[in-house]
Amino acid sequence: MRNHTRTQVGIIGGGPSGLLLSQLLHLRGIDNILLEKRAREYVLGRIRAGVLEHGFADLMREAKCGQRMDAEGEIHDGIYIAFDDRRERVDFKSLTGGNSVIVYGQTELTRDLYEAREKMGGDVIHHAENVTPNDMTSKKPYLSYEFEGEKRRIDCDFIIGADGFHGVSRASIPKDRITEYERVYPFGWLGVLSKTKPVSPELIYANHQRGFSLCSLRSQILSRYYIQVPLTDRVKDWSDEAFWAELKRRLPEDVADALITGRSVEKSIAPLRSFVAEPMRYGQMFLAGDAAHIVPPTGARGLNSAASDIYYLYHAMLDHYENGDDRGLDNYSQKALARVWKGQRFSWWMTTLLHRFPDNSPFDDQLQQTDLEYLFSSKSAQTSLAENYVGLPF
Ligand code: APR
Ligand code: PHB
């Protein structure tokens, strides 16, 4: 009877966080059911960054989902930072003892996770309506939801809230049991996806008096570009031609001259926010990924912050079910938040370093320029950026 089932771990959210945990647990014989409110195609339609730390890549391999990532993902050994018509490279390999990142679109990564769940016969339910976590502070929590009009219930030992920033899990925690920290930035990112050859083999983050820009990619035939825009801008305000002209203004001359433009196959504006909810546990419910924290995309930490949550939760669940040891679960929130806040700091620092802040004083602007000059006059400063970008230890 599907209307009243039982599992060990009930997961809300079929994004990368929920799917990766579901796959890892299943491989170790821990029953789980994942409830996703949207269709798979809808989830896969989201355009998200895909810069993977080596820790995330290792988790994907452990989840037996790393084959396409390893075959099609691009290994990047560094990034460029452009400012004052200069372009300087941060060499990850030499600064971090050989570490790098993999550039592999989140859409593809999520597709790999869905295909792996399907191949294993994983219990992933789409179009799950009104998913609600219940009795989280009891030893018998359960999920209620509706499917095609039928009310259903899943009894479980634990609930994982992997339902993103706008999900139900964090919202279901009493206000006096959770503390939220937030910073909203006074600008957004206008992003364009184009079927063009990327202008640079490695990412270029550019600080310019007209505003931040970023040259990224998904593959050698699919480029991803961003420019900082005021929060009042709308996508309809930006023709492709206007976008390419503004991007060129913000890049070093030789890069602008080499830029291959084309029709946008996707164009969107995203706001920038830093957000952390503490603690990341309420009774038998654990928050993971965007459900608990959000970073501005400047540091490419979003997916990677989710990875360490999943790593900690995965090992805590193994300890619980295989050894009857709950220390991992009891320490989860504190351990996850320690790394989450380091990702928050790095993302805030990269955002502050590279964007034009409309309310900055001349002193603030001088500090930003000095930060950039210091970064490229100090191996220690570059090492700090590099070790954060390739991923701090789990
Ligand atoms: N019931 C069921 N599913 C829900 C609910 C709900 N009430 N609310 C949200 N969801 C689903 C969303 O449809 C989405 O598919 O939960 C999923 C959450 O996925 P993400 O938002 O991608 O969050 P997460 O899996 O933690 O991935 C974090 O995504 O936003 C990026 O930069 C972020 O790269 C990071 C990654
Ligand atoms: C992207 O390719 O979408 C991307 C890459 C790096 C970032 C942000 C976005 O820091």
pLDDT at 90 over 90: yes
pLDDT at 2 over 80: no
Residue with tokens 């009930």: 10
Q: How far is the CA of 159 from the centre of ligand 2 (A)?
A: 31
Pocket test for ligand 1, best of 20, 23, 34, 37 (most atoms within 8 A of CB): 37
DSSP 8: S
The answer to whether the CB of 25 falls within 8 A of the CB of 9 is yes
Measured from the Cα of 216, ligand 2's closest atom is 2
* Phi–psi pair at 160, nearest 5 degrees: -110, 120
Q: Please, where are the H alpha helices in the chain?
A: 16-27, 40-44, 54-62, 67-72, 92-95, 106-119, 240-249, 253-258, 302-323, 327-354, 362-375, 379-390
Q: Per-residue pLDDT averaged across 11-35, rounded? A: 98
pLDDT at 85 over 90: no
- Per CATH, the number for 186-272+356-390 is 3.30.9.10
> Following CA atoms 93, 98, 99, 105 in sequence, which dihedral angle do they give, to the nearest 10 degrees?
70
What are the tens digits of pLDDT across the range 154-177? 999 999 999 999 999 999 999 999
Average per-residue pLDDT in the chain?
97
Cα separation of the two ends of the chain: 40
What are the tens digits of pLDDT across the range 185-243? 999 999 999 999 999 999 999 999 999 999 999 999 999 999 999 999 999 999 999 99
Determine how many CB atoms are found less than 10 A away from the CB of residue 300.
Answer: 25
Measured from the Cα of 106, ligand 1's closest atom is 34
pLDDT at 1 over 90: no
Q: Is 76 in the pocket of ligand 2 (CB under 6 A)?
A: no
Q: How far is the CA of 34 from the centre of ligand 2 (A)?
A: 28
Band (pLDDT 50/70/90 cuts) for residue 84 is confident
Q: How far is the CA of 85 from the centre of ligand 1 (A)?
A: 38
> Which pLDDT value is given to residue 262?
98
> Which pLDDT value is given to residue 48?
85
> Which pLDDT value is given to residue 49?
83
Band (pLDDT 50/70/90 cuts) for residue 253 is very high
Q: How far is the CA of 41 from the centre of ligand 1 (A)?
A: 14
Q: Per-residue pLDDT averaged across 322-342, rounded? A: 98
- Per CATH, the number for 4-76+100-181+273-350 is 3.50.50.60
Q: Which of 219, 217, 162, 218 is nearest to 19 (CA)?
A: 162
pLDDT at 379 over 80: yes
Q: Per-residue pLDDT averaged across 307-313, rounded? A: 98
Measured from the Cα of 290, ligand 1's closest atom is 26
Distance CA 252, CA 75 (A): 24
Q: Whose CA is nearest to atom 4 of ligand 2?
A: 49
Domain assignments of the chain as residue spans, ordered by start: 4-76+100-181+273-350, 186-272+356-390
- Strands 78-83 and 86-91: what pairing? antiparallel
Band (pLDDT 50/70/90 cuts) for residue 326 is very high
Nearest ligand, measured from the Cα of 47: 2
Pocket test for ligand 2, best of 216, 218, 388 (most atoms within 8 A of CB): 216
- Strands 78-83 and 204-206: what pairing? parallel
DSSP 105: -
What are the tens digits of pLDDT across the range 140-154? 999 999 999 999 999
Q: How far is the CA of 163 from the centre of ligand 1 (A)?
A: 4
What are the tens digits of pLDDT across the range 92-143? 999 999 999 999 999 999 999 999 999 999 999 999 999 999 999 999 999 9
Q: Per-residue pLDDT averaged across 254-259, rounded? A: 97
Q: Per-residue pLDDT averaged across 255-284, rounded? A: 98
